[in-house]
Amino acid sequence: MKPSRGFTLVELMVGMAIGLLVALTAATAMITFDTTQRRDVGEDAALENSAIFLFSVAHEVKNSGISPVDFNNALVCTQFNFSSSDGTLLDGSPVYPVQITDGGASGSDQINVAYMKSILGKSSTRLIGDMTSPAADLAVASSAGFSTGDLVVVGVTGGGSPCTFMQVSSIGAVGLNANFKHAAGSTMPYNPADPAATFTNAPSYPAGSLVFGSGGFAYVSYQVGANGLHMLDNLTTPSNANMINEDVVFMKAQYGISTGSGQPLQWVSAGTAPWNALNSALAAEIKAIHVGIVARNSQFIQPATHGGSCDATVNTGAGSPGKPYLWSGGPTVDLSAALAAGNSSWGCYKYRTYDLVMPLKNVLFQ
């Protein structure tokens, strides 16, 4: 019989070396695959969350057209009195269906949206008698479509006085020539005990003033801060802030205006005159807004040089990853100027831009 022979030391060392190379190659491939997968997942998540946000805002903006209008389709209310159990929240305050607050070249814009929650905001009844005081009953032409507990808004076109929200505490003489009471009470949080003491200007509305069913009132603001995008409820004290998307790091918007029926939209910046000082006449020309956002991929990317500066996103020319266009033909945003102050490692992330045109649908159909 031939003697048995095992591996020599040299053969064993060569085999171990080959095995280590194979294992190292496999590990490197797995790490690369995992990094790529996490980056792709992060990008997909940023895309999905950004799309959800944009369509959510679009829904709010479309609703913003549900505003009190008179029989000539002119806005009745651009200033409001609004009180609740949280206190006096609007005291003759200017509130428009949509308003953009410009944040400058390196700051995000803020978008304010206000609307009535009921289609009854597009129809109304009217006062058939003068109010003798701000707390007096509302003598209306008809109670059709109204119920006890409804939140209504009272105003007069061109009167120069704010519209006031009141809650119907009871209805007398239901039908034609009805009577709406708006007494204060624990179940009527929107009726202050003394309107004249609550509001700087608490009108006693004259006959002919309009009374709109609101179905409730929404007044929210979208703004980007250090922790992402938030929605603020302006009708609570303090303002209730809800996190919408922590990966939205920048936002800009512009108005789409039209001066008349059949006229094409023109796009204007909220930071230029006269649009930086909105009034009721200008607000009536706003038919849409264009919103652009910058979303961050949450995957942190190590610098190419160990211990070096972040270089996943660098600033060069317009249209580069560090200075992307917010939309085709639109402005660029310098991410270094916009983000570095709040996050020194901003360059270790990838970013994408998304945009959407949002029509004020209900305004277009007025």
pLDDT tens-place values along the chain, 366 residues long: 566 566 677 777 877 888 888 877 777 766 665 555 555 544 565 567 677 778 778 878 877 766 676 666 677 788 899 999 989 999 999 998 899 999 998 899 999 998 887 755 556 789 999 999 999 999 999 988 888 999 999 988 776 789 999 999 999 877 788 999 999 988 999 999 999 999 999 999 999 998 988 888 889 999 998 788 888 999 988 777 788 888 889 999 999 998 776 677 899 999 999 999 998 888 888 989 999 999 988 888 888 888 788 888 888 888 899 999 999 888 899 999 888 877 888 899 989 899 999 888 655 434
The answer to whether 232 touches 239, Cβ cutoff 8 Å, is yes
Residue 191 lies in a domain: yes
- Say whether 273 sits in a helix, a strand or coil: coil
| Distant-in-sequence, close-in-space partners of 38: CB < 8 Å, separation ≥ 6 | 299
User: Are 348 and 245 members of one domain?
Assistant: yes
CA within 13 Å, CB half, 120: 21
- Residue 164 counted as domain residue: yes
In a domain, 111, yes or no: no
Same domain, 127 and 183: yes
Number of structural domains found in the chain: 2
Q: Give the C-alpha distances (Å, rounded to integers) separating 195 from 61, 165, 169.
A: 31, 11, 15
Question: The tokens of 317 are what?
Answer: 């020319």
> Does one domain contain both 206 and 256?
no
Residue 226: inside a domain: no
Residue in 1, 63, 60 with CA at minimum distance from that of residue 221: 60
Q: Is position 92 within any domain?
A: no
**Is residue 197 domain-shared with residue 318, that is, in the same domain?**
no
Q: Do 258 and 162 reside in the same domain of the chain?
A: no
In a domain, 113, yes or no: no
Of 196, 213, 230, at which residue does a domain stop? 213
Do 275 and 199 have their domain in common? no
Query: Within this chain, do residues 248 and 354 fall inside the same structural domain, yes or no?
Result: yes
Do the domain assignments include residue 180?
Answer: yes
Considering the domain boundaries, does residue 252 fall inside one?
Answer: yes
Range of the structural domain that residue 131 is part of: 118-213
What DSSP designation does 357 have?
Answer: E
Pairing state between β 217-225 and 110-116? antiparallel
* 295 shares a domain with 348: yes
Same domain, 27 and 126: no
Q: How far apart are the first and last CA of the chain?
A: 105
In whole angstroms, give the CA distance from residue 101 to residue 254.
10
Same domain? 277 vs 348? yes
State whether 206 and 295 are in the same domain. Answer: no
Q: Which two tokens stand for residue 325?
A: 């266009």
